[in-house]
Amino acid sequence: MSSYDKTKEINAEGGGEIYPWTEQKNRVAALTAGYERQKHHAVTSQPTAPLKDHLEAKTKDFIAHQVQSEKYWFQKIELFPGVYSPGWSDPASEKLPYYGLPEDLSGLRVLDIGCAEGYFSFEAEKRGAREVVAIDSFPDSIRRFNIVKNARQSNANAYLCNVYDLNKAQFGTFDLVLFYGVFYHLKHPQLALEAIRDVCTGTLLFQTYVHEDPKVQGEAWAQYNPYGLMSGSNNENFDPTVFWLFNATACIAMLDHVGFESIRVVSDSPKPFVLRAESIEQKPGCPVNQATAPWC
Ligand SMILES: C[S@@+](CC[C@H](N)C(=O)[O-])C[C@H]1O[C@@H](n2cnc3c(N)ncnc32)[C@H](O)[C@@H]1O
């Protein structure tokens, strides 16, 4: 791989060298400056205005009020028959057909990592999973997940948890782990795969964005973006949370390295890129023993 030849130019502010990531670094600094200006008036979670006379309201209207109070929805999910959350992404058409989710999940313990508002958790429950555990590292995801959960009277549970913190003692083990759309957001992707390996005693379904550079075809290749990426047709979108871009070979190599077996491509034509892999330790998934769990 060629080494990066950094320029010695001084930027306009005279503040330092210009690197390929300088624009993104400056954007992160601008976002941080914006945060610093208002942090003493800010809250973690946006407040929801109370619904007047909510005890007299129909449940349907109460839930509609909660849904409408959210400023942002990512996933379009059915709340009641024929009524959907206003997400801009429709996983039913854009993802589900390609993501390798088996039709019948009867009796399985399923973990949905990076669940967002829970589309795949609720789909797994619909397909017969005996238990669905979801995690996400973003508090707003958990709040919106719970709005959908209540609307659907779902038994899936979402926890605020980073993928690195998954462990058998707290979460038990799983027959099926869904790891969709998270890998490129991670600073420590190999560490995440190690944590997943420890809780997965069945099958892993893995979806990520892959970047193929013809110059390194067949080699395990990665690009590090220390301050995120610009995307969109005119580089108009800034996502500070995209740290690594891997090619398909690197994704397979990393799963192989942590000990997954029978790794095969479920979809790659050309997107989305989805892998299925099996745990070495094939055992039925179990919840933790409540008599020895960390919280007892
Ligand atoms: C692009 S969305 C994918 C959502 C869903 N899995 C799907 O495929 O539609 C990525 C989700 O992963 C969550 N996430 C990002 N980094 C994470 C981490 N380190 N641990 C757990 N969740 C994470 C984000 O908050 C977000 O909800």
Q: pLDDT tens digits for 189-247?
A: 999 999 999 999 999 999 999 999 999 999 999 999 999 998 877 888 999 999 999 99
Portion of the chain with pLDDT greater than 90, in percent? 89
Task: Give pLDDT, residue 15.
Answer: 58
State mean pLDDT over 84-92. Answer: 97
Residues 6+ apart with CB under 8 A from 144: 70, 73, 85, 116, 117
Is 91's C-beta closer than 6 angstroms to any atom of ligand 1?
Answer: yes
Task: Give pLDDT, residue 6.
Answer: 47
Inter-helix orientation angle 189-199/248-258, to 10°: 50
Which residue among 76, 113, 185, 237 is best mutated to probe the pocket of ligand 1, counting the most ligand atoms within 8 A of its Cβ? Answer: 185
Task: Give pLDDT, residue 269.
Answer: 74
Task: Give pLDDT, residue 4.
Answer: 46
Residue 177 near residue 200, CB atoms below 8 Å? yes
Q: How far is the CA of 6 from the centre of ligand 1 (A)?
A: 33
Q: Quote the CA–CA distance of 155 and 110 in Å, as a whole number.
A: 12
Task: Give pLDDT, residue 236.
Answer: 85
Residue 128 near residue 156, CB atoms below 8 Å? no
Determine the CATH number of domain 91-278.
3.40.50.150
Atom of ligand 1 nearest to the CA of 163: 20
Residue in the structure block whose two tokens are 């179990």: 286
Q: How far is the CA of 135 from the centre of ligand 1 (A)?
A: 9
Which residue puts its alpha carbon closest to atom 27 of ligand 1?
Answer: 116
Q: How far is the CA of 16 from the centre of ligand 1 (A)?
A: 34
Residue 228 near residue 240, CB atoms below 8 Å? yes
249 CB-contact burial (10 Å; exposed 0-12 / middle 13-18 / buried 19+): middle
Q: How far is the CA of 69 from the centre of ligand 1 (A)?
A: 22
For the segment 130-150, what is each residue's pLDDT rounded down to a tens digit?
999 999 999 999 999 999 999
Buried/exposed code over 69-83 (b: 16+ C-beta within 10 A; e: otherwise): ebeebbbbbbbeeee
pLDDT band at 1 (very low <50, low <70, confident <90, very high): very low
Q: Is 35 helix (H, G, I), strand (E, B) or coil?
A: helix
Residue 134 near residue 108, CB atoms below 8 Å? no
Atom of ligand 1 nearest to the CA of 136: 22
Q: Quote the CA–CA distance of 158 and 161 in Å, as a whole number.
A: 9
Q: Quote the CA–CA distance of 6 and 65 in Å, as a whole number.
A: 53
Task: Give pLDDT, residue 184.
Answer: 96
Instruction: Inform me whether the pLDDT recorded for 3 exceeds 50.
Output: no
Beta strands in the chain (DSSP E): 78-80, 83-84, 109-113, 131-136, 157-160, 174-180, 200-208, 222-224, 229-231, 237-239, 244-246, 261-267, 273-278
Task: Give pLDDT, residue 7.
Answer: 46
Is 189's C-beta closer than 6 angstroms to any atom of ligand 1?
Answer: no
Task: Give pLDDT, residue 231.
Answer: 81
Is 228's C-beta closer than 6 angstroms to any atom of ligand 1?
Answer: no
Is 267's C-beta closer than 6 angstroms to any atom of ligand 1?
Answer: no
Q: C-alpha angle with apex 11: 7 to 17, nearest 5 degrees?
A: 40
Q: Is 152 helix (H, G, I), strand (E, B) or coil?
A: helix
Atom of ligand 1 nearest to the CA of 162: 20
Tell whether pTM > 0.75.
yes
Average of per-residue pLDDT values in the chain = 93
Quick one: how far is CA 176 from the chain centroid?
16
Is 182's C-beta closer than 6 angstroms to any atom of ligand 1?
Answer: yes
What phi and psi, each to the nearest 5 degrees, are found at residue 243? -90, -45
Portion of the chain with pLDDT greater than 70, in percent? 94
For the segment 4-29, what is each residue's pLDDT rounded down to a tens digit?
444 444 444 545 689 999 999 999 99
Is 149's C-beta closer than 6 angstroms to any atom of ligand 1?
Answer: no
Q: C-alpha angle with apex 174: 172 to 175, nearest 5 degrees?
A: 150
Q: For 73-120, what is the HEC assignment?
A: CCECCEEECCEECCCCECHHHHCHHHCCCCCCCCCCEEEEECCCCCHH
For the segment 147-166, what is each residue's pLDDT rounded down to a tens digit?
999 999 999 999 999 999 99
